[in-house]
Amino acid sequence: MKNIAVLASGTGSNAAAIMDRFIGYEDIFVSLVASNNPEAGVLEKAAERGVPTSTFTKSQLNDEEFMTELLRGIDVVVLAGFLLKIPAFLVREFEGRMINIHPALLPKYGGKGMYGEHVHKAVIENEDKETGITIHYVSENYDEGDIILSETVSLSQRDTPKTAALKVQKLEHKHLPEVVKKLARSL
């Protein structure tokens, strides 16, 4: 049995896609959804599905003892719209077992401040002909770990940040659970 933890700061549509995907699996179990934001929609989505939830502060995230206890028994950590920087001790502890999803084709549109709608706005402002998703291992720098998968989708002149976001979200919900499954089963 592989235990998955999802860390998220916002709405949690990706967390929901992961939780829904593994319902009924005997070897993969989403055993924790945790957030730095007590108001995050993701906590409600987890509670609705009976998945244990937890919240932590920024200083708890950087407290090795606290996080080691919170993530005890977890095999794979998925950052699904998690906006705080992961401390080095966690990166090391979960090397090859912690992944992040980014709503653009990295290395373009990565780095601090580049999340959610900011990314889509920049892509549209630059009149890019395509956008997409990148799923990568987590390293100590934002959006810089080794890439596991990237998928593209075309943009037309009619696209807006909103429609680009919807196209990207569709790709995210399709591919993130698959990558989690492959990673969990490879351990």
CB of 181 to ligand GAR, least distance (A): 17
Task: Measure the CA–CA gap between 70 and 160, rounded to whole angstroms.
Answer: 40
Helix ranges (DSSP H) in the chain = 13-21, 41-48, 58-61, 64-70, 88-93, 116-125, 161-186
Structure tokens at 178: 């698959």
CB of 175 to ligand GAR, least distance (A): 11
Task: Measure the CA–CA gap between 185 and 102, rounded to whole angstroms.
Answer: 22
- The separation between CA 150 and the C-alpha centre of its own chain, rounded to angstroms, equals 14
102 is a contact residue toward ligand GAR (CB under 6 A):
yes
116 is a contact residue toward ligand GAR (CB under 6 A):
yes
Nearer to ligand GAR, 121 or 187 (CB): 121
Active site residue 102: yes
Among 5, 6, 7, 12, the residue binding ligand GAR under the rule CB under 6 A is: 12
Q: Which residue of this chain has its Cβ atom nearest to ligand GAR in the complex?
A: 81
175 is a contact residue toward ligand GAR (CB under 6 A):
no
Positions annotated as catalytic residues are: 102
